[in-house]
Amino acid sequence: MRDDERLPESRPPVLAADDTDATRLRLRGDWTLAHALAMGERLRQVPEGVTAVDAGDIGRLDSAGVLQLLRFARRHCIELDVFHFRDDHQPLVDAIEDVADDRPKKKREYGVSAALARLGFAVQDNWHEILALVGFLGENLLKFGRMLAQPRRFRLTSTVYHMEQVGLDAVPLVFLLSYLVGAVIAFLGANILRDFGAEIYVVELVNVAFLREFAVLLTAIILAGRTASAFTAQIGAMQAREEIDAIRTLGLDPIDLLVMPRIIALLVMLPLLTFIAMIAGILGGATVGAFNLDIPPQAWMARMDATIEVRHFLVGLSKAPIFALIIGLIGCLEGLQVEGTAQSVGERTTSSVVQSISLVIILDAIMALWFMNMDI
């Protein structure tokens, strides 16, 4: 039986030369982890030329103590035979001595070559991500076609559930943010247009901006942050717990079961949310107009009726399904690529938000150019 571990007081390690033989060390006290620093210091002060170590008076000894003594022996090039341990400490010493020799090489590289290698791997990873996304798009189109041919594959309950999560629950947030952005644009525009005496053009500014660009862009960015991350985390957690594999072995298709309902829900809800965002943004602008710019709501409506063409509305709305597809695809794909660990779920979630927001903005810029050049 080992010494009583329950005793709260512990005695610091003591090391002294023997009275009769100066090359003989005597160890007393506790040689445990709690005294790691003291042990190291005492042992470092020992002069060269030790021939024997009497450790028989050590009170408590643990693996940290044994390890320190082994290091000491290695430093002074003395064999472990010259150590004398208490009988009940001997098995611990033997067990540690048995495994304490070989150690792995540290194989971390630094410097230019490592930095170059990391850059190369990053480029390769990005290329693979793009390939995977295009492949995933193709797979989903195929599965969607198959679903049209075999309507029983359509999951109504799941789709409606996701429509509520993605669409209905996001309405307050989308409305509030669009309203505020609309108000801010009206303020900014009025400040500049006032110098030209053209404050009334605020109506066109807010209306065109929201119908063509801001409503759909704001909605898509909000959903990329809110929904893409949720999709990745949900599917990623299932992937990490091998639930996706279970789905496959049960003869079900994870694309049909998990991905399709989510993407269809987004395709339906994102245009609807965009419409709400348009109304909210215009309301925001009209509020500022009514209270700060002397443009009463009736005047705002009349001006809007006279100057705004329906094509602006259609241009804005036509982008919604494309953004919905991007957000849904990236969210689900990143979730399916999760590998086992909690950290992987986190990394993939971050990556899915970053990717979907970036892609939404890049595509929006490209489409704005295209529509402008086509005079639409």
Instruction: Supply the minimum distance, in Å, between the C-beta of residue 258 and another protein.
Output: 22
Nearer to another protein, 62 or 334 (CB): 62
Q: Identify which of 19, 36, 82 has the alpha carbon closest to the alpha carbon of residue 56.
A: 82
Instruction: Supply the minimum distance, in Å, between the C-beta of residue 40 and another protein.
Output: 7
Instruction: Supply the minimum distance, in Å, between the C-beta of residue 340 and another protein.
Output: 4
Instruction: Supply the minimum distance, in Å, between the C-beta of residue 50 and another protein.
Output: 21
Nearer to another protein, 56 or 225 (CB): 56
Nearer to another protein, 48 or 98 (CB): 98
Nearer to another protein, 32 or 219 (CB): 32
Q: How far apart are alpha carbons 147 and 139 in whole angstroms? A: 12
Q: How far apart are alpha carbons 74 and 2 in whole angstroms? A: 27
Q: Which residues contact 254 (CB under 8 A, 6 or more apart)?
A: 244, 247, 248, 336
Instruction: Supply the minimum distance, in Å, between the C-beta of residue 137 and another protein.
Output: 29
Quickly count: other Cβ atoms within 10 Å of residue 6's Cβ. Answer: 5
Q: Which residues contact 158 (CB under 8 A, 6 or more apart)?
A: 257, 261
> Could you tell me the sign of the dihedral formed by the alpha carbons of 108, 110, 112, 115, in that order?
positive
The SS3 assignment for 17 reads strand
Instruction: Supply the minimum distance, in Å, between the C-beta of residue 349 and another protein.
Output: 14
Nearer to another protein, 238 or 276 (CB): 238
Nearer to another protein, 108 or 152 (CB): 108
The residues of the shown chain that bind another protein, judged by CB under 8 A, are 1-2, 4-6, 8, 32-34, 36-37, 40, 62-64, 67-68, 71, 88, 91-92, 94-96, 99-100, 102-104, 107, 339-343
- Give the largest Cα separation in the chain, rounded: 112
Amino acid symbol at 346: G
Could you identify the residue written with the tokens 């930095």? 115
Instruction: Supply the minimum distance, in Å, between the C-beta of residue 342 and another protein.
Output: 5
Nearer to another protein, 103 or 152 (CB): 103
Nearer to another protein, 6 or 152 (CB): 6
Could you identify the residue written with the tokens 């309203």? 179
Instruction: Supply the minimum distance, in Å, between the C-beta of residue 95 and another protein.
Output: 4
Q: At what angle do helices 260-292 and 112-149 cross, to 10 degrees?
A: 100
Instruction: Report strand pairing: 83-85 vs 52-61.
Output: parallel
User: Is the CB of residue 32 less than 8 Å from the CB of residue 65?
Assistant: yes
Nearer to another protein, 237 or 267 (CB): 237
Instruction: Supply the minimum distance, in Å, between the C-beta of residue 9 and another protein.
Output: 13
Q: How far apart are alpha carbons 149 and 355 in whole angstroms? A: 32
Kindly report the three-state secondary structure assignment for every residue of 258-322: HHHHHHHHHHHHHHHHHHHHHHHHHHHHHHHHHHHCCCCHHHHHHHHHHHCCHHHHHHHHHHHHH
